[in-house]
Structure 1
Amino acid sequence: MQRSLSSYAAIGDSFAEGMGDERPDGTPRGWADLVAQGIAAAAAGPVTYANLAIRGRLLAPLLDEQLEPAIALRPDLLSISGGNNDLIRARVSVAAVTARLEAAIDRAVASGAEVVFVTVANMTRNLPAGRLVEGRGNQFASAIRQWASKDHVTVVDNWSDEELMEPRYWSPDKLHLNALGHRRVAGNVLAALEVPLPPFPEELPPEVVRQSRAAYWREHVLPWIGRRLTGRSSGDGREPKRATLQPVDLPWSSRTP
């Protein structure tokens, strides 16, 4: 991508919000924040960034709530990541999900934004019913890759990144990436945008937390099932962490040359 970027907005679910990569105060960081820092480090002038993503969102409410507000910010770059929660539901039409996403991408491009679609990493190796989800994910990723031929659209295919399947990139719930995983996704996005990788502070590999199968189900799986049965979401009542375009602060002292 050759276009100079001075503003960036992200929409999505927990993946774009940054769950699994929490700061010491508990607030999520994540790959989109890191991408914003990379763009700012490479830019000649100030860069602003907004993140409207909210965890737990299915695709329909995600797009209904986030797409038009993001477009209204008139960002140079808009990243979209969604449909992930739909794929892990009992029933889903992958074709319907991809059709709705494609319409959203076309709408964003028509607004004048450069669009980058960022697929989730393949989390299925250690998940219950992982084979079923992987089949859907493969179908989903295959359809998304076709959008790379669209003008002003960049596709970042993390689903096919085999390194991201390694356990060291995942948080204890086995569904969300940890800090190392989000950092790798940020690198994939910046490479696709032809933006140099900035001098991110070193990330130490997280300590591996080993849980018994019973503990894993008790702490992660059963609460998820409980929310499904009661019609609740982990994102209920949450507001976007960064609803407006705000200046990007770099956690290091100088910009890249």
Structure 2
Amino acid sequence: MTWNNFVAMGDSFTEGMDDSYPDGSYRGWADLVAARLALDAGPEFGYANLAVRGKVLNEVLTEQVGPALGMRPSLVSFAAGGNDILRRKVDPYGLVHKIDPAVEQFRAAGADVILFRFADVTAHLPGQRIVGPRAAALNDGARELAQRHGAILIDLFADDAFRNPLLWSVDRLHLSEAGHRRVAAHVLNALGVGVAEDWLLVPPMPAPSPWLLARGADLRWAGQHFAPWLKRRLAGASSGDLVQAKRPELGPIEAIA
């Protein structure tokens, strides 16, 4: 099947952090998918990416769904809720309930919808006992929504390769270049589109660090990444407060094989 456009919605996962172009802007799995789809669809193919880092689900729903529907997309991706489950108080089942009508709207408009079961990031972060059950509920909800609405489910949680820390960036929360390429490969395979085999390649698993070195790395990570994140949360701020969507309107993207 060939789609004439693709609209991506969500947060940092879809914006493309931390997979950078040479100019320092973010690429990510959605750009890679769009560029591959454009190869089959031709020069008229349009791509928009409305995702902005730090957005919680309510912001994605209120700020991105309307503009996306207005573009009359033939293919959309919806990935949100990850920032919500990191908050102190959240009802993950309530998140799924809010996502349901958005998916229904896109399906009623004739769009194919991509949903995700997110990869397990809890092994790399503090608070696994709190975040883990929330993430599981959100993932289970995505599967139920996909079944109910006939959406395309990308099950990253089932891919054990994402346990490799080299598929994650130094902040332990966002994907690395290799991680984004693997997500793109999963999406393209689910869409029935050919993809280069090297997109699925995984770097060799690094050897375990000695306990003392690992604790030192944890402390450095806490100072460089966790502390600033916590400071923003306490101040009611977001990393995306001054960030605009990188591709707010449908436009061409250079095709890649």
TM-score by length of 1: 0.89
State, as a whole percentage, how many aligned pairs show the same letter.
39
AA partner of residue 240 (structure 1): A
Find the counterpart in structure 2 of residue 182 from structure 1. 180
Q: Which structure has the highest helix share of the two?
A: 2
The CA deviation at 1:154 is: 0.9
Unaligned runs of 5+ in 2: 207-214
Please give the alpha-carbon distance, in whole angstroms, between the structure 1 residues aligned to 2:15 and 2:40: 23
Q: Is the 8 A contact 2:115 2:146 kept in 1?
A: no
Verify: 1:46 aligned to 2:44, yes or no. Answer: yes
* Residues 122, 159 of structure 1: 8 Å contact kept: yes
Give the equivalent residue in structure 2 for 1:74: 72
The answer on 1:107 being equivalent to 2:105 is yes
**Aligned position for 1:214:** 219
What displacement does 1:111 show? Answer: 2.0
- Residue 152 of structure 2 contacts residue 190 of structure 2 at CA under 8 Å; is this kept in 1? yes
Q: What secondary structure, in the 3-state scheme, does the structure 2 residue paired with 1:84 have?
A: coil
Task: Give the SS at the match of 2:157.
Answer: helix
Q: 2:153 is matched with which residue?
A: 155
Change (3 A) 1:89 1:4: same
Deviation of 1:159 (Å): 2.1
Measured in 2, the distance between the counterparts of 1:153 and 1:119 equals 12
- Is the Cα–Cα contact under 8 Å of residues 38 and 198 in structure 1 kept in the other structure? no
Equivalent pair of 2:76/2:113 in contact (CA under 8 Å): yes
Question: What residue in structure 1 maps to residue 143 of structure 2?
Answer: 145
State the match for 2:13 in structure 1: 15
Aligned partner of 2:247 in structure 1 is 242
Q: What is the deviation of 1:212?
A: 2.2
Task: Give the conservation status (yes or no) of the 8 Å contact 1:147–1:155.
Answer: no
Higher mean Cα deviation, 117-126 or 184-193?
117-126
Residue 255 of structure 1 is matched in structure 2 by: none
1:129 maps to amino acid: G
Instruction: Indicate whether 1:195 and 2:193 are aligned.
Output: yes
Q: Displacement, 1:250?
A: 2.5
Give the count of matched residue pairs.
249
**TM-score for both structures, normalised by structure 2:** 0.89
- Alpha carbons 1:118, 1:189 under 8 Å: kept: no
- Determine if contact 1:42/1:196 at 8 Å carries over to the other structure: no
Q: Which moved more, 1:107-116 or 1:196-205?
A: 196-205
The Cα shift of 1:123 comes to 0.7
Deviation at 1:124, TM superposition (A): 0.7
Structure 1 residue 224 corresponds to structure 2 residue 229: yes
Deviation string 1:50-86 (CA, Å, 9 cap, x unpaired) is 0000000010011100011011011110110000100
- SS of corresponding position for 2:19: coil
Aligned to 2:212: none
Q: Tell me the distance in 1 between the aligned counterparts of 2:136 and 2:54.
A: 21
**Shift of residue 26, structure 1, vs aligned partner:** 1.3
8 Å CA contact 2:103, 2:149 repeated in 1:
no
Secondary structure in 2 aligned to 1:150? helix
Taking the TM superposition and a 5 Å limit, the aligned residue runs for 1:112-151 are 112-151=110-149
Helix, strand or coil for the counterpart of 2:83? helix
1:147, CA displacement in angstroms?
2.3
Q: CA RMSD in A?
A: 2.3
